[in-house]
């Protein structure tokens, strides 16, 4: 795989971020947004992206030394090369995630209109994991951001074609989120 800039129209799912180089052979420390995900380990090609700059790289190796995982790419062979990718986001193509017919991923909620019952709240901008809990990042029409916990029991309706997600309203939740 080469590391030239790739078509930025491809739909990517961000799964982690590069922290910094490790050692002299081009290894990089990274963290995953969802530590329980196996998606990175099931793919040999990932995308690194930062400030509109996107690269496609082939994974040579992934190691877990202490509590911080390390990743090595075939085209990165030195600490100097690796240091260029500090703070780059790690992404996979949406097509890398396998689905059955009725299966959904949390990223399916991104760019959906979000409602509490019949009240429009805003647009789902992202899904993040914080302390083991999945949260929807909702941007309201006023520009405010709200983090709403994802709970299957609260989801009333989801229409992937119309990009609409409706959850049961929890009084006071927007006041604290």
**Does residue 101 sit within a domain?**
no
> In what helix (H) or strand (E) does residue 83 lie, and over which residues does it extend?
helix 79-83
- Lowest-confidence pick of 22-31, 126-135, 147-156, 168-177: 168-177
> At 37, which CATH number?
2.40.30.60
73 and 32 part of one domain: yes
Higher pLDDT, 88 or 175: 88
For the entire predicted model, the pTM comes to: 0.66
Domain ranges, residue 120: 106-172
23 and 92 part of one domain: yes
Instruction: Give the model's pLDDT for residue 99.
Output: 65
Buried b (16+ CB within 10 A) or exposed e, 142-162: eeeebebebeeeeeeeeeeee
Q: What is the pLDDT of residues 4-28, one digit of tens each?
A: 444 444 588 888 899 999 999 999 9
> At 133, which CATH number?
2.30.30.240
Where a domain ends, among 96, 117, 145?
A: 96
Q: What is the pLDDT of residues 77-102, one digit of tens each?
A: 999 999 999 999 999 988 787 666 66
Instruction: Give the model's pLDDT for residue 2.
Output: 46
Instruction: Give the model's pLDDT for residue 1.
Output: 43
Where a domain ends, among 42, 71, 96?
A: 96
**Does residue 139 sit within a domain?**
yes
| Among 95, 177, 97, residue whose Cα is nearest residue 137 | 177
């Amino acid at each position: 795989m080469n590391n030239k800039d790739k078509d930025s129209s491809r739909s990517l799912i961000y799964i982690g971020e590069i922290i910094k180089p490790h050692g002299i052979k081009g290894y990089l420390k990274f963290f995953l947004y969802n530590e329980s995900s196996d998606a990175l380990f099931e793919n040999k090609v990932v995308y690194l992206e930062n400030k509109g700059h996107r690269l496609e790289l082939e994974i040579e190796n992934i190691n877990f030394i202490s509590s911080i995982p390390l990743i090595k790419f075939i085209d990165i062979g030195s600490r100097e090369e690796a240091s260029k990718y500090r703070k780059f986001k790690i992404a996979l193509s949406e097509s890398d995630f396998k689905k059955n017919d009725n299966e959904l991923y949390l990223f399916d909620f991104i760019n959906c209109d979000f409602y509490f019952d019949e009240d429009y709240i805003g647009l789902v901008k992202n899904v993040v994991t914080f302390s083991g809990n999945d949260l929807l990042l909702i941007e309201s029409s006023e520009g405010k951001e709200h983090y709403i916990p994802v709970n299957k029991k609260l989801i009333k309706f989801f229409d992937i074609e119309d990009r609409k997600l409706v959850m049961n309203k929890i009084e006071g939740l927007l006041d604290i989120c």
